[in-house]
Structure 1
Amino acid sequence: MVQDQPHVEIAIIGSGPGGLSASARAAARGMSHVVLERQSHLADTLQGFQAGKLVMATPEKLPLRSDIMFDAGRKEVVLENWRRQAEKLGVAIRYNAEVRAIAAEEGRFRLTLADEGELLADKVVLAIGLQGNLRKLTIPGAHLPHVEYHLADPQQYQDEDVLVVGGGDSAIETALALIPHNRVTLCYRGGEFSRAKLGNIQALERAAEQGHIKVMFESTPREIESRTVHLDTAKGNATLPCSVVIARLGATPPRPFMERCGIRFHGSDATALPELSPTYESSVPGLYIIGALAGYPLIKQALNQGYEVVEAIAGNPVPPTDEPLLLEKLAVAHIEMGVDAFIDKTRRLVPLFAGLTHLQMRELLAKSRVHSLSPGDPAFFAGDYSNTFWSIVSGSMGVLIDPKDPGRKILLNSGDFFGEMGLISGRRRNATVVADTTSILLETDRRTMLRLIASSIPVQKALDRAFIVRQIHRMFGVSLDDGRFAPLLDQMRIEHYRPSQTIYAEGEQGDCMHLIRRGSVMVDRHIGGKSVVLAYLQAGNYVGEMALLGRVPRTATVRAAVATETIRIDADHFHQLAELFPDLKRQVHKTYQERLAANADNRHGEQTSDAIQFLIAQGIGEGTDILTIDESLCVRCGNCETACAQMHGGISRLKRDSGSTMGNLHLPISCRHCEHPHCMAECPPDAIHREKGGEVWIDAAQCIGCGQCESNCPYGVIRIVEEAPPTPEGFLPKILQWGKNPRWLWHRLLFLQRREDPYPEAGKGMKGEKDKLAVKCDMCRNIAGGPSCVRFCPTGAALRTRPETLLERLRRTH
């Protein structure tokens, strides 16, 4: 396609979407260039996709800025289109040209190839992707011949028991491709697919609902044998028949090669990205990095960056496509500075973000809200159920120790952050935070922060450290936020437990205590030949102190009621803290005496124990507000359902006669308003929200009726309903009705007649069609008096209450 060129203006390494786009832009500008591709074909990563794979053009909202056109389509079609465009545009590609070294010398670069040839270039663009450095399993049996890390052709597997490992797009697409002729299980260590494309998640959901695939969350393979695989799951150990394992675990950057080129990284951990300027220039002047190596693996992002990097090299830097959106965010907060300047300021002043690249900060800013608060303005109040994360860019914020006395507060200054406890635990805010001086803050939603934590080890460590310090301070009034205690803090670690997993067992020697940072636990003792539940403790409590203070064996067994995280403090470190801080010792000793007395006075009995276990089984461990009905008072009048329906357009949000019952305690099918709502995970239009009071509700104007929340809810409290609303008369009312869905509105305005809906997942049509809508209890938010089911119960049988209040009432009444 091109003759060897000893000296070019731009050498582009890699012929994937980023490299192709960069070379097309260079050709359009008349700049001498060459694309160095180590394989004998174009776009090796895309070539490696399975046959017939649909290549998506996401993010949908991101405009395409490239001379290389790209639309979603089958892999083979996309590759052929790119090949033709490259030829038409005069892109210069040299195949079988693997670059072994890049050396800067006298204002240019010398590139050494595997065949010992050399090439000189004024600038270099590195766009090589990650697929040459696949992550692999390291468990027993990972060496067996039926363990694969790639799927070339799904048709090569027929009538097999296949386990696909991973939670990204490649894992989901591999699993879906294998379904037609095999029995497929997809296992993923996480609790939700936070990194995959929406279209893939929806396709997987449909396949699972139809019984074509088994999806196992919070599961990891432990050992592989010739015909079976052993897994650790949220419910314990599991063994599956398995003749093929395909692990799609992602890939890591070729860091040694990049470091030999002189490129610096943001930290030493495996997830660290290279240092880049806003124009993709690395720490080596004249050497640029785009695409997956820069932390942006999506095709459309790489195409845009290929265009932008050549424009920057040509002396015509163009603003990124998200620039108007970010400028608008700053303007709303009355911040008069450019996006790059604000990002640089934030990275400089907030240590938590110092290790993020400029591009990562742009993405973080795009998904955050910028606030400008005046003295006295609140960020949030104690008791709120918000779970966003706040970073102080400038100014200072006060954490009110006593809301009645604004003078008693802890000051947080520029560079500090807060809100991490609500982010992690899902519980109510435990303090009110207000601006002490004029302050600029970033408020970041929970999902964005969880993705950032997963992708940045330094961010994860910083948040864990802050959580430990603040949790100990909140529980015991002890401040460890001092360099002297760093070695002690380093010894404290976060432990993770699956539902029903034992944290420690009765009779064991106590070697540590646990602060519950997320989830909840059950405490039980073996009494009269039976396990009797003594207590249910939520995040914010601690267990294990009795064995440490009394220096006796464990007096009870503690198990995780739901997925739970704790802060483990070993015995030696606990005693060090107790000696340093007498107040901590007194507080823990007081709790110790109270629990000793409770153990001696075993009035709970088996009835209360059974009731607690019953409630845990019904999801109280995750819930924050539970609807209960006292069957001894209920007269079966149906007022609760009727009132609910009248308050919600004729559709009741509860089912009185369904649900579970133990004795006189009945839990009807009604939302528990979980700490970390399952229904909110992967809601396509982000139609599910949480109020500060804890109410989880569905915005009917945003809901598209896809049913994903219904599938995700483990308690069956969400329904998809159909209703046929009257069609408004006149043109303007029609527009207003269509305008509930912007995509819908544009389609109707373009055609103004009945057509096949290009977005059938919206579940909404023209006259005579029924709207699909997800409905659930919203605790009658914005309705005076609170939940109507409780207000209109004539006997007081219906009650909405917090789990801890309900459990305490059970203890008192038995």
Structure 2
Amino acid sequence: MDQVYNLAIIGAGPAGIAAAVESYLLGMRDIIILEKGQSHNETIRKYYKDNKRVDKDWQGQKVELDGNIYFIDGTKESTLDFFDEVLAKHSVKLQPQTEVQKIVRGDDGIFDVMVPGGSIRARYVVVTIGRMGKPNKPDYKIPPAIRKQVNYTLDDVGEGEKILVVGGGDSAVEYAVDLAAKNDVAICYRRATFRRANPTNQTDIANAIAHGEVRPILNTNIEGLEEDAGKVKVLFEEREPENFDRVIYAIGGTTPSAFLTGSGIGIEEGCPVHDENYESDVPGIFVAGDITQERGGSIALGLNHGFYIARHILDNDKTLRRDDDVIKRLD
């Protein structure tokens, strides 16, 4: 608790890892990554199905990588292995299972990153909490009796269940197609087509529907859920209610507004306020990754954000740089 880190990073996704590694390569030491989950890239671990394709250019966003981390297209498993290797090669401390409550600047100008039982002190802080750290939930209330049957990942799904997947993006489509092999699956989306999904997923869901593997419930919204003899009764607009064993929502994530505002960071149009260097309106606190964008999710953009932030901090605070000869010997 008495140590002062040069850099504390909140969130161990691509942007957080990049901010740490790029800072290390530029000569900074005493870096810590604080992660709420059990390891790095929890969004990929929890919300991506096994063998899911992971693209550098997410949803057609063509991004040239500017930093030192060279990421290429792969799968869920190869991506996690890649970031394992990146962390292992550099002296960056990853502290998992640490939920940050807020950030407070002390009287000495050092930030106190508040965690249960105390604080972690740092000269600079980078916030890279992903939107999926707080998945979107429906506006209507979920009755307590069926809460265990209403999910946001595939963790609790069994075989032979009648399942409704709610959403029209890549995750929803992939969940529906994947689950259809061993379950009775329907997918509900408020629009008539799955245009938000990437072309491969659009083809996959079209084929699944054409072969009767997934039943589409399109152009309709859900008004609410009820418990009905141990089942989840789904109340549709302009459609008869239907019972399911389980409902899975895959409707994206949201900005962690309470955490940001509680740390003094302003929010405009759903994103934290920041300048061209990704420094927030609290000097010394930076934001990176998908919370900075209306359409988040690009690993390549997150890697670039980490690089830009590291370069800006080290360019403007030469006291954090190690001597070049020392860096060469250490690296």
1:360-410 residue CA offsets vs partner (Å, 9 max, x unmatched)? xxxxxxxxxxxxxxxxxxxxxxxxxxxxxxxxxxxxxxxxxxxxxxxxxxx
Task: Write the deviation string for residues 583-631 of structure 1: whole angstroms up to 9, x where unpaired.
Answer: xxxxxxxxxxxxxxxxxxxxxxxxxxxxxxxxxxxxxxxxxxxxxxxxx
Hey, what does 1:249 align to over in structure 2? 251
2:236 pairs, out of 232, 237, 242, with: 232
How far apart are residue 180 of structure 1 and its match?
Answer: 0.5
TM-score by length of 1: 0.35
Alignment of 1:198-277 (within 5 A): 198-224=199-225, 225-226=227-228, 227=231, 229-232=233-236, 236-266=238-268, 272-277=270-275
1:312 is aligned to 2:282: no
- How far the C-alpha of 1:212 sits from its partner, in A, is 1.6
One-letter amino acid of the counterpart of residue 266, structure 2: R
Q: How does 1:677-756 map to 2 (within 5 A)?
A: none
- Correspondence for 2:128: 127
Match of 1:28 in 2: 25
- 1:308–1:140 Cα change, 3 Å: closer
Aligned pair 1:151/2:154, yes or no? yes
Cα 1:64–1:202 change in 2 (3 A) is farther
Partner of 1:289: 287
Pair 1:245–1:21, CA change in 2 (3 A): same
Report the 3-state secondary structure (helix = DSSP H, G, I; strand = E; otherwise coil) of the residue aligned with 1:253: coil
The structure-2 alpha-carbon separation of the partners of 1:251 and 1:77, relative to structure 1 and needing over 3 Å to count, comes to same
C-alpha spacing 1:132/1:164, structure 2 compared with 1 (3 Å): same
Contact 1:18 1:127 in 2 (8 A): yes
Answer yes or no: is 1:92 the counterpart of 2:93: yes
- 1:356-505 equivalences in 2 (<5 Å): none
State whether residues 195 and 202 of structure 2, in contact with CA within 8 Å, keep that contact through their aligned partners in structure 1. no
Instruction: Report what 1:812 is aligned to.
Output: none
Q: Please give the secondary structure, in 1, of the residue aligned with 2:159.
A: coil
TM-score normalised by length of structure 2? 0.82
* Identical-pair percentage: 29
**Alpha-carbon distance in 2 for matches of 1:294, 1:81:** 24
Q: Distance in 2 between matches of 1:195 and 1:306?
A: 27
Query: How big is the shift at 1:100?
Result: 2.1
- The one of 109, 112, 128 aligned to 1:110: 112
User: In structure 1, what is the equivalent of residue 320 of structure 2?
Assistant: none
**Paired position in structure 2 for 1:11:** 8
Cα drift, residue 76 of structure 1: 2.6
Query: How many Å separate the matches in 1 of 2:311 and 2:196?
Result: 30
For residues 230 and 95 of structure 1, what CA distance do their matches in structure 2 show?
Answer: 37
Letter of the 1:188 partner, please give it.
Answer: Y
Report whether the alignment pairs 1:76 with 2:77: yes
Contact map agreement 1:51 1:152 (CA 8 A) in 2? no
Superposition deviation, residue 141 in structure 1 = 5.6
Tell me how far 1:130 sits from its aligned partner.
2.4
Q: Alpha-carbon deviation of 1:129?
A: 1.1
C-alpha distance in structure 1 between counterparts of 2:284 and 2:53, whole Å: 32
Q: Distance in 1 between matches of 2:98 and 2:239?
A: 48
- Give yes or no for the alignment of 1:196 onto 2:167: no
Distance 1:5 1:164 in 2: 48
Seen in structure 2, the aligned counterparts of structure 1 residues 115 and 53 have a Cα distance that, compared at 3 Å, is farther
Q: Measure the CA separation in 2 of the matches of 1:100 and 1:195.
A: 34
Contact 2:232 2:247 (C-alpha < 8 Å) held by counterparts: no
Superposed displacement of residue 201, structure 1: 2.1
CA change 1:109–1:230 in 2 (3 A) is closer
Contact 1:50 1:151 in 2 (8 A): no
Letter in 2 for 1:110: D
Which residue of structure 2 aligns with residue 38 of structure 1?
A: 36
Instruction: Report SS of the residue matched to 1:9.
Output: strand
SS at match of 1:281: coil
SS at match of 2:315: coil
Deviation, 1:142, is 4.5
SS, match of residue 48 in structure 1: helix
Q: Deviations over 1:200-228 (max 9, x none)?
A: 22222222222221222221223434346
Question: What 5-or-longer segments of structure 1 have no aligned partner?
Answer: 317-814
| Gaps in structure 2 of 5+ consecutive residues | 317-331
In 2, the alpha carbon distance for the partners of 1:114 and 1:196 equals 39
> Which structure has the higher relative contact order (CA within 8 Å, separation 6+)?
2
1:73/1:238 Cα in 2 relative to 1: closer, same or farther (>3 Å)?
A: farther
Give the aligned residue type for 2:299: I
Q: Partners in 1 of 2:74 and 2:91 — Cα distance?
A: 24
Structure 1 residues 90, 197: CA separation in 2 closer, same or farther (over 3 Å shift)?
farther
Q: Deviations over 1:488-526 (max 9, x none)?
A: xxxxxxxxxxxxxxxxxxxxxxxxxxxxxxxxxxxxxxx
Computing the radius of gyration from Cα coordinates, the structure with the larger value is 1
Secondary structure at 1:315's aligned position in 2? helix
Deviations 1:720-741 (A, max 9, x none): xxxxxxxxxxxxxxxxxxxxxx
- In the TM superposition, residue 98 of structure 1 has moved relative to its aligned partner by 2.5
Per-residue deviation at 1:188?
1.0
Q: Report the CA distance between 1:131 and its aligned residue.
A: 2.8
